[in-house]
Structure 1
């Protein structure tokens, strides 16, 4: 008898799990959603897969338009020619340095500026926002910018690439809106605990802003990685070029024997046929490798464990 009572008590005390069953309409939505997203993924990946296939294909198949997803006449002559050049690796190293330094500086300036103008009690806030927005529509122009960079002595230096584009106003406004939507109770509680403004920013605000910070890092990194015009304009020495300028010059002069350092006519024809595809693959590969490590922040919840308003 005692055992039956204890067993009954356990049954009553045991938490019951409630299973929510999907409605027929929701199941149809999930199927349709999966199909649509699958089609979108295929449409987006198809051109890139074709470019990769062309980069490994032989010249006759490329010119005949026979390359589609799968390489035809597997050939790596162009990859070998490009990657055997020491200047390619020097320019690739330059691109990595330029991108890392520029992204760090851009994030430091953007986060601090956005946090400052997100405070409605800041004196001169309207002027600062207006000055930033003004630069989205008006700038000095190509020649004044070139004269300014030359006068400052930035030609043939890292700063000619990093400083002129250190702050993207679009990214600044996005981050400003994000900071404005953060609960004020968090900062007030941190201030009561004795944190200064800088302490609140570095120990409270930034750790809770991983999603937007990761997004901005990716935006800035992609922008600086793909940038070539600033280096093309402000740098005269080939050893200082980023890899985008190297590939641009190789692409522009692919049909010239001097542009590839000599070689047979067949080799030059092969290079001319798929240099565009090779340049695209070599340029986009590092960003594609970086994206999976940042993508998780795009879908992660923001303000997890914080006070909700």
Structure 2
């Protein structure tokens, strides 16, 4: 039996469709514009002639980026910072969230309160810098990775997910002779792909786009991530030179934005199905 829709219902659906189309245009236009500007003539970009489609197509900016060794060094630094930080974050966060999800853990409530305290108060930038300096971590990958290794919000999300898993699965594994670590690795983590993918994506995107920690903790230019180079060009107006040739600044800015953004855009579709599930975890009672 077909249910007849009211006029108000049809108007509401039409409004939603138009609104979604508008939002898609608003989100896609900057990406299309940046790509078009990156392959257009620099003078036309600077004069504002490029609005949507490229004008006088040229790949000079991309050629300059490809030929510059500093770009590839900073690219490698960004990749290794992101991979190491994401992997260690997932390992440490899951190792801490799993016991906190168990009511039998001694001092569980006190630990949760201390963790929640860090969401409201922090030591500040200068004390954190002094700690990193005293530990001898300056100018190393660990200065980028360790200070932000655990997010309290991510810890609570993962703990909530672990609490929602059936106890019968863990009890069965324990009867079969598995210890707590084996239960976590063999039973809990394989069932926790949504929350792992969600936290992993947020962590990777945050680390990929991070540049402030590198400004504070790194003095060696060979350790700089890609975002530092991008910042220098966008904010400081620096240029990339290859064999005495200074690239056109406008198109270079947009080309470097595309190069810096592309990896994250390529990763997201592969974990989208887990991300959609994991994004709803925050709505579960803690």
TM-score (norm 2): 0.87
Change (3 A) 1:299 1:149: closer
Q: Does the 8 Å contact 1:54/1:71 carry over to 2?
A: yes
Q: Does the 8 Å contact 1:51/1:277 carry over to 2?
A: yes
Q: Does the 8 Å contact 2:67/2:242 carry over to 1?
A: no
Q: Summarize the alignment of residues 11-26 of structure 1 with structure 2, pairs less than 5 Å apart.
A: 23-25=3-5
Structure 1 residue 52 displacement after superposition: 1.3
Unaligned runs of 5+ in 1: 1-20, 303-309
Larger radius of gyration: 1
Task: Say if 2:160 is the partner of 1:177.
Answer: yes
Q: Does the 8 Å contact 1:250/1:260 carry over to 2?
A: no
Q: Does the 8 Å contact 1:156/1:235 carry over to 2?
A: yes
Q: Does the 8 Å contact 1:51/1:281 carry over to 2?
A: yes
Residue 260 of structure 1 corresponds to 241
Change (3 A) 1:245 1:255: closer
Aligned residue for 2:48, secondary structure, equals: coil
Equivalent-residue separation in structure 1 for 2:219 and 2:278 (angstroms): 47
Aligned residue for 1:116, secondary structure, equals: helix
Please give the per-residue CA displacement for 1:60-113, whole angstroms capped at 9, x wherever unaligned.
Answer: 222232222211122332222222111110111111111111111111011111
Across the aligned residues of Structure 1 and Structure 2, the Cα RMSD in angstroms comes to 2.5
Equivalent-residue separation in structure 2 for 1:59 and 1:236 (angstroms): 33
Task: Say if 2:181 is the partner of 1:204.
Answer: no
Q: Summarize the alignment of residues 5-154 of structure 1 with structure 2, pairs less than 5 Å apart.
A: 23-25=3-5, 35-154=18-137
Change (3 A) 1:295 1:233: same
Q: Summarize the alignment of residues 228-267 of structure 1 with structure 2, pairs less than 5 Å apart.
A: 228-254=211-237, 260=241, 263=244
Residue 147 of structure 2 corresponds to 164
Unaligned runs of 5+ in 2: 280-286
